[in-house]
Structure formats: structure tokens, C-alpha cells
Amino acid sequence: MSIAAHPVESSLLTRLATGTAGAVGKEFLRCLVTELAGALDADMAFVAERCGDGEACTLASFGKPGVELREGQVFTLAGTPCEDAYTHDLLLVSRGARLRYPEDAFLRRYALDGYLAVALRDGRGEAIGHIGVISARTPLDPAPSELQALRIFAARAGAELERRRHEVALLRAADEERRRIGRDLHDGAQQRLVVLGQALDLALRELEADPGRAVARLSAAREQAVIAGRELRELAQGLHPVGLERGLRPALSALAVQSPLPVRIEALPDERPSAVIEATVWFLVSEALTNAIKHAAATELRVRVTASDDELLVAVADNGAGGACPSRGTGLQGLRARVEALGGTLAIHSPRGAGTALTARLRPRP
């Protein structure tokens, strides 16, 4: 179909492209709904994200004066055309929406009767949101090329929703990590330093009257200081891996040397990936190692990192008990959030009795 032959029909695509040019994040969604409502002369256009059971949350909306759907407003999907939007790729009710969806209070309140929606999908094809366009004027009758333009921009909006989800997951993982560090500091080094201070106080007081006792207190205090030092070192190592600035090999070797469980590094790429990818590989190996020691009763951990033009494959496997379940902790969930935020995927294969394998596929230069 040539553009020249259908100048009017192709205008929605141009309008959406122009109206959203340069906009990112939520602003992109806002521009999109504003342009859509304007171009289709609709009373309301919005983007909503599926949240919770049978509900959707409005992320961006544009309504003609008097027609309001607030950003952040959560609404129930049951009995509305929005519910059907999730089972149809594209749903068009040119007229008669109120008759077809008598329970929809929003359509009733604003006397809206034409409804158009397209589902927004994530990278796995799951419907995670929708764009809705609602009109009082009927028939709401977009041209085929306008529907095509809507589909194209729905793909972009779907990618935007997915990006936001990764961002939220990453923030949650970072919060959880901070909480864990705070807990570790409080229960570990901080407690030991308090005990150490008390032991030194007592030793000072007893120094003259009972030197033997003072010496015993001092040697107990020294022990606490050594343990506190080790705990702080381990904590610092988890925050910023030693040796990583020199590359994966020295950093992973340092991890292996300190480990009570043998770590076999079978392959590492010749060329260094970007710093954020190297850190991610380190965290993958470190968490897999901690888990193998803590939960698996494994006798070894194998690490393979291989690179092709468009992918870095990280495979870390122990030969222990299996049965890993991400919902029981935060370590594996945090890893998945980190990998997905970089546009990668993490597969966890952990059949009972047959070891645990983590396989991450990463883009080498995200």
C-alpha cells in the first residue's frame, strides 16, 4: 500500500510518531494517549497496566473536558470491555458498548458507546496491559491503517511497560539487599564491637586489682575484633568484589580460593565484557556458591562463561540436592531482577536430587 494513495489513513502513524518523538518513560505513554484521542476524535484514551487479580492500574490518560480517569486509578476489569482486551489482540466495538457491557459504570457515567482496545504484551507474549480508546460519538470506525498504526505503537508501549517492571523489580532487589546488609551489620560486626567495648572497659577496671582476669578479658576482646574484621571484610567483598577491576578471572579465582567448596572454572571469554556484565557474572557465581554451600550439600561448583557475537552465556551448576525455589528467599529473585534489567534471561533448573543449574543469557554490551 503506497502512502501517497492513502494520505489520510497513514496520518495516524505519522501523528503518533511525531507526537511521541523524543518522549521516554511515562511521558511517552502520555503523548501517545493524547495523540490517539486527538486523531480518533475520542473522548478518552488511556494506557493501563494489569495489576493484582482482575484489576488494572491507569498509567497515562487523556480525556476531553469532564471525562476523567486519573493516573494511578485502579479499576476492576470484570464486566468491562477492558477485560476482553486481554483475550483479544485487538478489540473494536464500533457502537453499542453500553448495551454489550451493562455493568461498566464508566461507560454509563459518560455516555460512552464506542470502544477500541489493543493488548500490550511483554517479551514472552503475555498481555501485561492495554491501550483503550473510548468515544461517545459512534460509530468509532478506524481505518485498517489506523489499526495497524495502533498495533505498532502498542508494541512500543508494551516494551515500555516491561522496562518499567524491570526497573521496579531492580529497585525492590536493591532495597532488599540494603535491608540484608543493614541486618548483617547490626547482628554481626555492630554487636561484636559493643561486646568488645564492654570487655575493654572491664579489663581497664580490673587491670590493677586482678591482672589475670584483665588478660583473659583482653584476649576475648581480641577474638571479637578478629571476627568483626572478618565479617566486615566478607560484607565489603559482597558489595564490591575484590579483583573485579582486573577482570573476571582474578575475581572468580579469589572467590574460589576462599571457598570451602571446590569451584571449577571451565571457561571464560577471551575478551572482557562490559563492567556491569562482569559484575553480574560475579554476583551469579557468588550467589550460586553461597547457595551450594548453604542448601545443597554439593561437592563442587562448575562455572562456564562463553561469548558469541550477540550473547554471553553464563552456566553455573552444583551437584547437590536440587529443589531450589526462588520464592523462598531473595538471592535468586535478586539475580533474576538484575539479569532481566540488563535485557537478559535467567533459567533455574533444580530437579530434586540432581543439582542446581543457573543459566543466564546476557547481551554482552547492554
Ligand X SMILES: Nc1ncnc2c1ncn2[C@@H]1O[C@H](COP(=O)(O)OP(=O)(O)OP(=O)(O)O)[C@@H](O)[C@H]1O
Name the residues that contact ligand X, by CB under 6 A.
291-292, 294-296, 318, 320-326, 328-333, 356
Work out whether 320 is an interface residue with Mg ion (CB under 5 A).
Answer: no
Q: Are 338 and 172 in contact (CB under 8 A)?
A: no
Q: Which does 320 bind (CB under 5 to 8 A by kind): ligand X, Mg ion, none?
A: ligand X
Work out whether 142 is an interface residue with Mg ion (CB under 5 A).
Answer: no
Shortest Cβ distance from residue 82 to ligand X (Å)?
35
Size of the site for Mg ion (CB under 5 A): 2
Residue type, 45: A
Q: Which does 178 bind (CB under 5 to 8 A by kind): Mg ion, ligand X, none?
A: none
Spatial CA neighbour of 269 closest among 314, 318, 335, 317 = 314
Shortest Cβ distance from residue 291 to Mg ion (Å)?
4
Q: Which does 188 bind (CB under 5 to 8 A by kind): Mg ion, ligand X, none?
A: none
Separation of alpha carbons 203 and 197, rounded Å: 10
Shortest Cβ distance from residue 335 to Mg ion (Å)?
9
Smaller CB separation from ligand X, 158 or 331: 331
Residue type, 84: D
Would the CA dihedral through 157, 162, 166, 169 be positive or negative?
Answer: positive
SS in 3 state form for 222-255?
HHHHHHHHHHHHHHHHHHCCCCHHHCHHHHHHHH
Shortest Cβ distance from residue 223 to Mg ion (Å)?
28
Shortest Cβ distance from residue 296 to ligand X (Å)?
3
Separation of alpha carbons 35 and 47, rounded Å: 12
Shortest Cβ distance from residue 301 to ligand X (Å)?
9
Work out whether 331 is an interface residue with Mg ion (CB under 5 A).
Answer: yes
Would the CA dihedral through 270, 275, 280, 284 be positive or negative?
Answer: positive
Shortest Cβ distance from residue 247 to Mg ion (Å)?
25
Smaller CB separation from ligand X, 34 or 330: 330
Burial 87-116 (b: 16+ CB within 10 A, else e): eeeebbbebebbeebeebebbeebebbbbb
β-pair partners for 55: 51, 76
Spatial CA neighbour of 337 closest among 129, 167, 99, 127 = 167
Q: Which residue shows C-alpha cell 486481554?
A: 86
Shortest Cβ distance from residue 283 to Mg ion (Å)?
11
Shortest Cβ distance from residue 243 to ligand X (Å)?
22
Smaller CB separation from ligand X, 80 or 291: 291
Q: Are 276 and 263 in contact (CB under 8 A)?
A: no
Smaller CB separation from ligand X, 329 or 364: 329
Q: Which stretch binds Mg ion (CB under 5 A): 19-27, 173-181, 211-219, 286-294?
A: 286-294
Given 20, 224, 291, 356, the residue binding Mg ion (CB under 5 A): 291
Q: Which stretch binds Mg ion (CB under 5 A): 62-70, 85-93, 96-104, 331-339?
A: 331-339
Name the residue whose CB lies closest to Mg ion.
331
Smaller CB separation from ligand X, 152 or 348: 348
Smaller CB separation from Mg ion, 10 or 291: 291
Task: Say how many C-beta atoms besides its own lie within 10 A of residue 18's C-beta.
Answer: 11
Q: Which does 278 bind (CB under 5 to 8 A by kind): Mg ion, ligand X, none?
A: none
Smaller CB separation from ligand X, 18 or 299: 299
Smaller CB separation from ligand X, 70 or 179: 179
Task: Say how many C-beta atoms besides its own lie within 10 A of residue 10's C-beta.
Answer: 19
Smaller CB separation from ligand X, 133 or 173: 173
The three three-digit cell numbers of residue 365, written as one number: 554490551
- Footprint on this chain of Mg ion (rule: CB under 5 A): 291, 331
